[in-house]
Amino acid sequence: MRRGEGVPVSRSVVIGVDSSTQSAKAVAVDTATGRVLGTGRAPHTVTGTGGARESDPEEWWTALVTAVRAAVHDAGTAPGDVIGIAVAGQQHGLVALGADHRPLRPALLWNDTRSAPQAAALADRLGGPGAWLDRTGSVPVASMTAAKWQWLREHEPHHAEATAAVRLPHDLLTERLSGEAATDPGDASGTCWYATADGAYDPEVLALLGLDPAHLPTVAPTGATRVGGLTAAAAEALGLPRTVAVAAGTGDNMAAAIGLGLGAGGLLDHPVVSLGTSGTVFAATRTRPADPALAGFAAADGTHLPLGCTLNCTLAVDRFATLLGLDREDAVPGGETVVLPYLDGERTPDLPAASGLVTGLRHTTDPRALLGAAYEGAAFTLLRALDGLLIACGLDPADPAVRDRPLRLIGGGARGRTWTETVRRLSGRPLVLPAATELVALGAAALAAAAATGQNPVTLATAWGTGTGQTLPAVARDEETWERVEGVLVAAGRGLLA
């Protein structure tokens, strides 16, 4: 029981699971209201040095079971009240299964960069980057699953040859729950072997990769599609009835969009800025953009979810705070100082070998202004990527109808005053700060509810209000700072940043 309560109250409950790089998080949600009744969490282990990043997929299942059981217990709900479950997982990871349907080796995670040479070589095939954009919506980079599979073929051919099935992280967990080999368009679109225009695997790409299509899961129409009930083994492990509907599920970015109410049943062409270790910008749209700077993802509900990513965001700014001996909130606007905090290279703009650049220092420069300039450089880079995304979707960022749509600001940085005010000042847009902190798990819960009830998951999440929160009105855009930072980026170019 929860907090010493008595007999559980009968209600309809769904479970949303966020199986991320570091942990499994589960939420038990009241289907009618979207209220979070209970939560659970269990850690994952990531290993590897240099560019290697790997995890044992069996640990993901163990963590999911632990987290789901904890969420149901915390909710104080009867197991029979649970009607649906869905998993949203970290994208791109490669799980190679043997004939016994067990992992042949640890999974190669999204942030394993050893496959960068394979990605570059693949990008030159099939007609070059433009052809990849036309086919899959994205150009191969190290994070994409196709590059990881090619790395496995070249570096561990014995494992590639022994592979009987290839799964993404969320696919594996959905299959453990339901017994069905299923994925969805959203997560599939992060592989670079799924044709987003056709809604199917690309046979020519699979042939290039030497990948048997029979080794891949079936692509369900949406992430909310019911793919089955719980297997006997899964029901016993979770302590839930076999009647629980299992949704196809999706990738973590797609689930976050659902949780925010983005999609055909809610908001289209409304931008999101996520402030994490890296920064991302995305929007649900009916347009299928083709831009090499974007990941041309599909959304979980049948729309598109183009996404831009910058490598340097909260972690880079926190590093400047540490170097200066300041608290991360002890910052003021940068003034004439400009910082491009590209400490890990940069993906958008495409400057993989870049390092940080500081200019405009004086004897009188306030250290707090130097930290403020780091915030400005990171926020500028992310907002510049957002402008590129909007343009690729056929929208004019300067059009008042587009400019006045509020930014939904999420991620760890969205809870910081300086981050919020810097994005507000440089964007000139109103901001919405959603109150919910587990948007991926909540988006998965909406998919679970949709699988169990037949409703639209975006409509459900919108009714639940999971994407609502404090709204900050727009302030005048700081054009002077924007132009100063942009001028330094253009002037430095590849000469100083390459």
Active site (catalytic) residues: 252
- The answer to whether 342 touches 497, Cβ cutoff 8 Å, is yes
**Is residue 77 a contact partner of residue 8, using CB atoms and an 8 Å limit?**
yes
Q: Which structure tokens are listed for 202? A: 């690309």
- For residues 300 and 440, give the distance between their C-alpha atoms in angstroms, rounded to a whole number: 12
Residue keyed to tokens 């009618």: 32
Distance CA 376, CA 491 (A): 17
Catalogue the E-assigned strands of 213-370.
Answer: 218-219, 226-229, 245-247, 250-251, 272-275, 279-282, 295-298, 304-310, 338-340, 357-359
Structure tokens of 348? 């958008």
Q: How far is Cα 23 from Cα 41, in angstroms, rounded to an integer?
A: 7
Distance from C-alpha of 46 to C-alpha of 241, rounded to nearest angstrom: 32
CA angle (223 as vertex; 107, 205 as ends), nearest 5: 55
Query: Residue 306: is the preceding peptide bond cis (ω within 30°)?
Result: no
Those residues whose C-beta lies under 8 Å from the C-beta of residue 172, and which sit 6 or more positions away, are 57, 60, 61, 95, 97
Is 83 in contact with 10 (CB distance < 8 Å)? no
- The Cα 283–Cα 408 span in angstroms is 10
- Cα separation, 153 vs 30, whole angstroms: 45
- Distance of alpha carbon 419 from alpha carbon 407, whole angstroms: 13
Between β-strands 279-282 and 304-310, what pairing exists: parallel, antiparallel or unpaired? Answer: antiparallel
Residue 447 · residue 250 · CB < 8 Å: yes
Within a 10 A sphere around the Cβ of 90, how many other Cβ atoms? 26
